[in-house]
Amino acid sequence: MENEPLRQIRKLSQYYAYSSIQMHEAIGHKAGLSGTDHKYLGWLIEKGEMTAGELANLTGLTTGAITGLIDRLEKKKLVRRKFAEDDRRKVLIAPDTKKIMALLQPLYKDFRNKSEQLLASFSQKDLKVIETYFRSAIEIMEATTHSLNKKQSR
Amino acid sequence: MENEPLRQIRKLSQYYAYSSIQMHEAIGHKAGLSGTDHKYLGWLIEKGEMTAGELANLTGLTTGAITGLIDRLEKKKLVRRKFAEDDRRKVLIAPDTKKIMALLQPLYKDFRNKSEQLLASFSQKDLKVIETYFRSAIEIMEATTHSLNKKQSR
DNA sequence: CCTAATTATCTTATCCACTAAGATAATATA
DNA sequence: TATATTATCTTAGTGGATAAGATAATTAGG
């Protein structure tokens, strides 16, 4: 016999993940980006300028794939290649935040408004609960991913 | 000037989405499945037996892609094709739940245990908050996806 | 210093999953 | 019964991934 509310939440969190993947892909598609390109563009915005190698490590993609990724994004003028001053083998990927925002914001607008509204419906205390949950859940998922990717292969 | 806790949560929910995508792919990869195959296998388990066409609609993939998907999963004996009795053009995809579970459960085990532990650390009232958040957020994301995929193309 | 080893990215060949369009086969309709 | 419709599959072509090796810059050793 199982704790029913727990089972519910587990299922919901799974649905939540599916839904966000689907939405993410839909938005990317609408912006003329593949799911991958959209995802890593998000990372670039989030973490800012980084080298091709760092992105390869972060994403788990091969350096060849990263070259292609940068090529595609650069062709769309969403990022720019720069050689690092301290080491000219390194290629810094500089996201053009303005341009990326201009491309994506309109597509996220509806979602963002509705999310804003939803969050506004919670008390500060409840928001704290949600925040705590998120933080821990993220930690768990990242640890899981990490350990899976480490043990052999990839 | 912006509400800081809100900004935090928005960012966290984005990270949460990224983390779940990454973990999902890592688990799939470990199980010898592509991200897509893993994802839709999850749907099949969740929603149970469905026709190829239904899966095509649900996923947004073309029927050709679905044929390939079923082929791959069938070759691994994770699903089985059956012709529907009422209409023998229809191909029912019957997931072999036992086999799928046997393949995936071990990979989710760690994650699941830790999640269980995390959830157990919340009060029933807090869990209710989280559940409410999930339900509404899922609704919002599905609506967004839907409207993006509807307006032109895909 | 100068050569060899290492490091960072790119190139190439190949593969796999996707789309688009049309083929095939079963069912519904007139 | 002939025709239209529906459900899936097939085929040709494309795009993004990997693996392995090439290129170019930096670091280390004698």
Q: Which nucleotides of D are covered by protein (CB under 7 A)?
A: 6-12, 15-21, 24-27
Report the b/e string of A3-33 with b at 16+ CB within 10 A: eeeeeebbebbebbbbbbbbbbbbbbbbbeb
Distances (CA, A) of A121 to A15, A57, A116, A138, B126: 22, 39, 9, 23, 15
Residue A20 sits at the chain B interface (C-beta within 8 Å): yes
**Segment B37-91, tens digit of pLDDT:** 999 999 999 999 999 999 999 999 999 999 999 999 999 999 999 999 999 999 9
Give the residue nearest to nucleotide D24 (CA to C1'): A89
pLDDT digits (tens, 9 = 90+) for B81-122: 999 999 999 999 999 999 999 999 999 999 999 999 999 999
Give domain limits for chain B: 4-121
CATH fold for domain B4-121: Arc Repressor Mutant, subunit A (1.10.10)
Task: Kindly state the percentage of chain B with pLDDT values over 70.
Answer: 95
- A64 Cβ nearer than 7 Å to chain C strand: yes
Residue nearest the C1' of D20 (CA based): A64
Mutate to test the interface with A, among B4, B24, B41, B145 (most CBs of A within 10 A): B145
CB atoms A8 and B131 under 8 Å: yes
Interface of A with B in 64-93 (CB under 8 A): none
Q: How far apart are CA B60 and CA B72, in angstroms?
A: 18
The pLDDT tens digits for A28-56 are 999 999 999 999 999 999 999 999 999 99
A10 touches chain B (CB under 8 A): yes
DSSP-derived letter for residue A116 is H
Residues A53-84 pLDDT 10s: 999 999 999 999 999 999 999 999 999 999 99
DSSP 3-state of B152:
coil
Q: Do B16 and A134 touch (CB under 8 A)?
A: yes
pLDDT digits (tens, 9 = 90+) for A130-151: 999 999 999 999 999 988 877 5
B26 and A115 within 8 Å at the Cβ level: the answer is no
